[in-house]
Structure 1
């Protein structure tokens, strides 16, 4: 019986180890490309001078190469020489602490007994075997920090430089395991992707020239994911070497990747979906309805999640806060990719890798979560609750679909401009449309009393009807049309949270005085209002406004006093104010900002900036400031100590006449990004700029060459002091002299615009 148990455990350890090291039967086991720098860093951490036991997480999405990297480290000659004991075990989602400890103990001591009374006795035996010996343990594919908490006491910290490597798809789990060294796996760049593909298909042989062009197209569609490249390469390695066949692979690469080797790719990635908590699954599935490679605006995505009812209410938390937490969780699980960050570090745009999008699409299809209209209209579309019409869907398909849709639909999202009629969607909650007929919407849409989200673009002039007030559930209203004006009844829509008009703006009528039922206590965003009549009556009706975008076009100076009421909006965090046709400095004197302000954009300015910058500099929470136009009457700008205490991003664009810029004392202590455009008269940067510890980047566009040279001197000073400055400079000029070009370095880029 003992011999049988030993054999069974040995087979289990061997199969687990082999299964975690090979990604596909088509992939050579030793294949690793593009991570040489990461491997060197990891080897340095493993064999470096730190004597404490260290945990080193390796994080990234499924198929990105975490296990492959760990395997190469595990088998590296330096590691085997440095450590007395090397052991590997796979944790997986359904972990068993007892079996995991047995696997490690067997590799450490050869002991395969199964007569331990409990986990503690087994763990104590492992602890004794590890004590006094330098060890490295690989815990592959960890999904929960609890398993580490249950086992950590059995891995002694003998001050001998032992290490534990954990591979996980959960970035937030890495922060729970350690606050020091960790590795985040990145996608392969074009060069490394091509190298991996070439080696997978042809090994050390040369790549045939007649297949190179189509081969690069195939690699491009893999989007830098090693798993995808390896699966496609493995298939082509055993296929016919003809351009025609490879073109077939390129045209059908998504379906081929997901079907090759028993849908191996999707099975690997599906583990991430299966491990999602129930409240995140609909948010993930929803991502599949966006077009491939689409950069998704995060605020829009979160508003859609809210309207679809995906968010689980939490006491004392707004829906926006909950949506941000959901998004962060999906990012931490490497299911959503951050595409673009905002100036102060917020996620502005996100994306999905094609394979993850395919996964969400397939799972959504299985669960009838939504239906994306293809080239053929299905008979069962009349039972679909969420319907998506992608851009460029044929007019005939759209027409046929409209005839079969019923009122059961809850969501209708259309990016196509071929739809002119909608069925009777009486239960519709989400409606996002593109270039619809205003006449049709006037007659039908505003009878959909269940609508929560309405986003519409109109082909022609459109007047929002007074019947809009019947939409008593509406919390998001986005209207883009050539000319229009909302009715006064809009002030009665208590549930509205987000109201947005087109960039040229709309006139918002004044609320009727004496009406006590027009408080819009839920309104947080109001964008695109022309000559907004800010007065005491209006301010008290929007007490919780957080984001405001207003445009002043009128020359009548009696409207100037409106800007003084901004300070009454005590919860305002983001303000965009465009002022045109206002050449009088009375605008400047009347503006008063609330201390809650975090982001400020002032555009179209013609007045002197010195006085208004004193007001702005005193705002305690301001993180982002953009000034578009305006002029410095005294031709200089002096920032004194204590000003701009929280500012992270500063941009000046066409702010005329500034010749001299000085910093006095400790100012701009948190500045991270500085961006100056078309400031031709500025001759020199203050040297104190280089001493700001948080500074990361300076962008100089179409300014003077002397200003650029002064920046170079600041960079050189910091290089002498620090070795490598914390910030980088990029200079863009129409004409770049040879002298300036000769100054270019990795930290000082010069670009011809």
Structure 2
């Protein structure tokens, strides 16, 4: 099997010239190599004649492919057809029963509410929802049988053929959850190991003859462990094609293959780390601070890299571009996993395999790269520059430690209890949550060296005017739960700011100081969470390089209703999210979009006439993603004519009322890949031209009319007859799934009850 715990090798995100490094800017495809018989065996256990609920453990050492096998099962067409409900959750060593139950409940029911604080309440609700439905639940990476004992009664057993798959490294745990049904993973033999190695290093290209002999020696020393083969293959895919270099790799491997435990894997991974360029090593080590199995938001990660000074400046390249190149290099080397792609192909979330995270953590500890504060505060830590405080650390330990950490430059705390800090004037990075107002005003906003500040403030907190003293600050993320506040006018004097985010409920931004036309925020690229933003000629001049803007209009202010007409002056704006509350639709009547726009998320009032704005949106030459929420079609129809939406890849319409007819003319939407419609009850039929869009890959319907699903099914069948293989994957979700709607279901046309 080509990968282990989190599907290391995923689909390609870009291609490279044949003469360049083979895996540059790619994420390799996930494949099964050598385990077809195990896959068939597991499929038989899942769909076989046993009617009682079956617990099926997949057992093997770390990196041998347990999760990859489970993932292939989870995505297998036969499994999707056989089971009514499917859910996947990762347990890990530091499990949380409540969060696990909540994740399973969300996946099977779509219920994302967080109002059930007790795990028993969550479990009972999950039990009621699963009752009477054939389900498959995958519990990935289980380390303790206690978590199973706490959850097993919430998975009903009513002789309907339901299944629970558990992946674990521990054979004794597998024996405790069931007395049979275990699937034991084995190592790859020489043939399959070589096949996996060849595909990892060279893809579909031929293996150079002068490297075959040394390549087989390297593969032999990996001893059939897929993780080792993938990591070494990923390293060599980025290396020189010289016999001397490969011999060097083989010689270094020889000292690591004697152990059969996870230390062996870590030493193999260590070799991959040793061969990282110097500029990538701190970025890799920094990621060890994120939790096991944590989904890491890429945008946040890259901003932290910038604030820590990890990026090597490159002429004519922005820090964001450089950070993205660093990320892709780590992905190419299989040290970072792509967890989720965005709608237009960008990487939104990444993860680390647990063995890779162990490597990062151990190397950071050896090099004193950062200090993780545990339950005890040892002496002699006053020289540490980066301090990470896990959520489990007690307040007393934190207070005691901070007395001796006067030289700290970075403070990252994911706890909800932050004590009063002392004088941290040298801080560069500060990420904390739920700070008191007293603490923040007296300490945080006088840390003149701060580059990155992310904090959530309680009570009636107000950002003080002293914020302008933070002249190095480039990232400001603030959440004030005491109600809407107004930022101080001094914020306009902060020339270094690049990213400003006012988290819910947002914040008012005052007009720039009058008589100070030289006050500019020339570096700001992202501005989020601004309420009733008064865009005017003076404001747009002061933010000339803005690329991402999130705004909301809650109140109609007559002297501002034309402020959105100034959007077209923001010539570098690429992403716009604009929310208009009911009663404030006049703001949209004068809106004018810049031609640079690539992503648009627009929420209108319920009675706004969408025809007034869709013609403007359709003419945007670079727009790739459009999400439109609420509003209504006064003419009850929407006609997209040839030439409109020339670059659109993603289109989503939700609660857009009264659209009864949708027509497409000519070759419009030539690049559309994903289409989602939600709560469009008035629309009865899909335009047949949808099936003629060659790039279209997926369509989702949420609570739309049954007749629309029927018409879409006909379109899909016609395309399958013409093309042979299905090219459009459809997912229909509805609260009420009739027998007729259920009869439409196929592996390529999924029908799910919400």
The answer to whether TM tops 0.5 is: yes
Residue of structure 2 equivalent to 1:368: 368
Question: Could you tell me how far 1:396 is from its partner in structure 2?
Answer: 2.9
* Deviations 1:409-456, CA, capped at 9 Å, x for gaps: 110000101222123211110000110111111011122111000011
Higher relative contact order (CA 8 A, sep 6+): 2
> Is the alpha carbon distance of 1:222 and 1:454 closer, same or farther for their aligned partners in structure 2, counting shifts above 3 Å?
farther
* Deviations 1:19-61, CA, capped at 9 Å, x for gaps: xxxxxxxxxxxxxxx57xxxxxxxxxxxxxxxxxxxxxxxx78
Residue of structure 2 equivalent to 1:305: 305
Distance between the aligned counterparts of 2:584 and 2:262, measured in 1?
70
Residue of structure 1 equivalent to 2:613: 612
> Is the alpha carbon distance of 1:240 and 1:706 closer, same or farther for their aligned partners in structure 2, counting shifts above 3 Å?
closer
Secondary structure of residue in 2 paired with 1:631: coil
Residue of structure 2 equivalent to 1:545: 546
Residue of structure 2 equivalent to 1:658: 659
Question: Could you tell me how far 1:378 is from its partner in structure 2?
Answer: 2.2
Residue of structure 1 equivalent to 2:296: 296
Distance between the aligned counterparts of 2:262 and 2:657, measured in 1?
65
Residue of structure 2 equivalent to 1:592: 592
> Is the alpha carbon distance of 1:381 and 1:175 closer, same or farther for their aligned partners in structure 2, counting shifts above 3 Å?
farther
Q: Which of 704-713 and 216-225 deviates more?
A: 216-225
* Deviations 1:650-697, CA, capped at 9 Å, x for gaps: 000100000100000010000000000000010000011011011110
What aligned pairs does 1:293-692 form with structure 2 within 5 A after superposition? 293-406=293-406, 408-482=407-481, 483=483, 484-582=485-583, 584=585, 586-606=586-606, 607-692=608-693
Secondary structure of residue in 2 paired with 1:455: strand
Distance between the aligned counterparts of 1:680 and 1:259, measured in 2?
62
> Is the alpha carbon distance of 1:174 and 1:269 closer, same or farther for their aligned partners in structure 2, counting shifts above 3 Å?
farther
Distance between the aligned counterparts of 1:174 and 1:294, measured in 2?
35
Distance between the aligned counterparts of 1:435 and 1:633, measured in 2?
46
Residue of structure 1 equivalent to 2:107: none
* Deviations 1:83-119, CA, capped at 9 Å, x for gaps: xxxxxxxxxxxxxxxxxxxxxxxxxxxxxxxxxxxxx
Question: Could you tell me how far 1:295 is from its partner in structure 2?
Answer: 0.5
Distance between the aligned counterparts of 2:346 and 2:695, measured in 1?
17
What aligned pairs does 1:143-162 form with structure 2 within 5 A after superposition? none
Cα RMSD (Å): 3.6
| Larger proportion of helix | 1
Question: Could you tell me how far 1:62 is from its partner in structure 2?
Answer: 11
Pairing 1:740–2:741 present? yes
Distance between the aligned counterparts of 1:632 and 1:240, measured in 2?
58
Larger Rg: 1
Are the aligned partners of 2:27 and 2:331 in contact in 1 as well (CA < 8 Å)? no
Question: Could you tell me how far 1:196 is from its partner in structure 2?
Answer: 12
Residue of structure 1 equivalent to 2:87: none
Question: Could you tell me how far 1:197 is from its partner in structure 2?
Answer: 13
Secondary structure of residue in 1 paired with 2:381: helix
Are the aligned partners of 1:492 and 1:517 in contact in 2 as well (CA < 8 Å)? no
Question: Could you tell me how far 1:401 is from its partner in structure 2?
Answer: 1.9
> Is the alpha carbon distance of 1:260 and 1:435 closer, same or farther for their aligned partners in structure 2, counting shifts above 3 Å?
farther
Distance between the aligned counterparts of 1:298 and 1:603, measured in 2?
26
Structure 2 stretches of 5 or more lacking a match?
43-53, 70-91, 93-139, 144-166, 180-256
> Is the alpha carbon distance of 1:401 and 1:583 closer, same or farther for their aligned partners in structure 2, counting shifts above 3 Å?
closer
Secondary structure of residue in 2 paired with 1:674: strand
* Deviations 1:233-252, CA, capped at 9 Å, x for gaps: 99978x999869x9xxxxxx
> Is the alpha carbon distance of 1:437 and 1:236 closer, same or farther for their aligned partners in structure 2, counting shifts above 3 Å?
closer
Question: Could you tell me how far 1:270 is from its partner in structure 2?
Answer: 1.3
Are the aligned partners of 2:636 and 2:660 in contact in 1 as well (CA < 8 Å)? yes
Secondary structure of residue in 2 paired with 1:378: coil
Residue of structure 2 equivalent to 1:224: 67
Are the aligned partners of 2:628 and 2:654 in contact in 1 as well (CA < 8 Å)? yes
> Is the alpha carbon distance of 1:690 and 1:235 closer, same or farther for their aligned partners in structure 2, counting shifts above 3 Å?
closer
Residue of structure 1 equivalent to 2:278: 278
Are the aligned partners of 1:61 and 1:335 in contact in 2 as well (CA < 8 Å)? no
Distance between the aligned counterparts of 2:697 and 2:354, measured in 1?
32
Secondary structure of residue in 1 paired with 2:486: coil
Question: Could you tell me how far 1:394 is from its partner in structure 2?
Answer: 2.3
* Deviations 1:583-607, CA, capped at 9 Å, x for gaps: 55x4332000000000001114331
> Is the alpha carbon distance of 1:213 and 1:240 closer, same or farther for their aligned partners in structure 2, counting shifts above 3 Å?
closer
Are the aligned partners of 2:341 and 2:349 in contact in 1 as well (CA < 8 Å)? yes
Distance between the aligned counterparts of 2:168 and 2:59, measured in 1?
16
Distance between the aligned counterparts of 2:174 and 2:360, measured in 1?
33
TM-score by length of 2: 0.69
Distance between the aligned counterparts of 2:399 and 2:32, measured in 1?
43
Distance between the aligned counterparts of 2:459 and 2:37, measured in 1?
48
Distance between the aligned counterparts of 2:685 and 2:376, measured in 1?
64
> Is the alpha carbon distance of 1:601 and 1:395 closer, same or farther for their aligned partners in structure 2, counting shifts above 3 Å?
same
Are the aligned partners of 2:656 and 2:680 in contact in 1 as well (CA < 8 Å)? yes
Distance between the aligned counterparts of 1:710 and 1:353, measured in 2?
43
Distance between the aligned counterparts of 1:235 and 1:332, measured in 2?
27
Question: Could you tell me how far 1:172 is from its partner in structure 2?
Answer: 6.9
Distance between the aligned counterparts of 1:258 and 1:628, measured in 2?
59
> Is the alpha carbon distance of 1:65 and 1:541 closer, same or farther for their aligned partners in structure 2, counting shifts above 3 Å?
closer
Question: Could you tell me how far 1:405 is from its partner in structure 2?
Answer: 2.0
Are the aligned partners of 1:643 and 1:668 in contact in 2 as well (CA < 8 Å)? yes
* Deviations 1:268-319, CA, capped at 9 Å, x for gaps: 1112111111111111111100011110111100000000000000000100
Distance between the aligned counterparts of 2:374 and 2:722, measured in 1?
61
> Is the alpha carbon distance of 1:357 and 1:258 closer, same or farther for their aligned partners in structure 2, counting shifts above 3 Å?
farther
Distance between the aligned counterparts of 1:234 and 1:171, measured in 2?
35
Distance between the aligned counterparts of 1:419 and 1:221, measured in 2?
41
Are the aligned partners of 1:258 and 1:265 in contact in 2 as well (CA < 8 Å)? no
Question: Could you tell me how far 1:403 is from its partner in structure 2?
Answer: 2.8
Distance between the aligned counterparts of 1:332 and 1:243, measured in 2?
39
Are the aligned partners of 2:303 and 2:475 in contact in 1 as well (CA < 8 Å)? yes
Are the aligned partners of 1:172 and 1:332 in contact in 2 as well (CA < 8 Å)? no
Distance between the aligned counterparts of 1:433 and 1:680, measured in 2?
45
Residue of structure 1 equivalent to 2:46: none
Distance between the aligned counterparts of 1:271 and 1:612, measured in 2?
56
Distance between the aligned counterparts of 2:471 and 2:686, measured in 1?
55
Question: Could you tell me how far 1:354 is from its partner in structure 2?
Answer: 0.4
> Is the alpha carbon distance of 1:747 and 1:196 closer, same or farther for their aligned partners in structure 2, counting shifts above 3 Å?
closer
Distance between the aligned counterparts of 1:661 and 1:242, measured in 2?
58
Secondary structure of residue in 2 paired with 1:596: coil
Question: Could you tell me how far 1:575 is from its partner in structure 2?
Answer: 0.4
Distance between the aligned counterparts of 2:658 and 2:480, measured in 1?
38
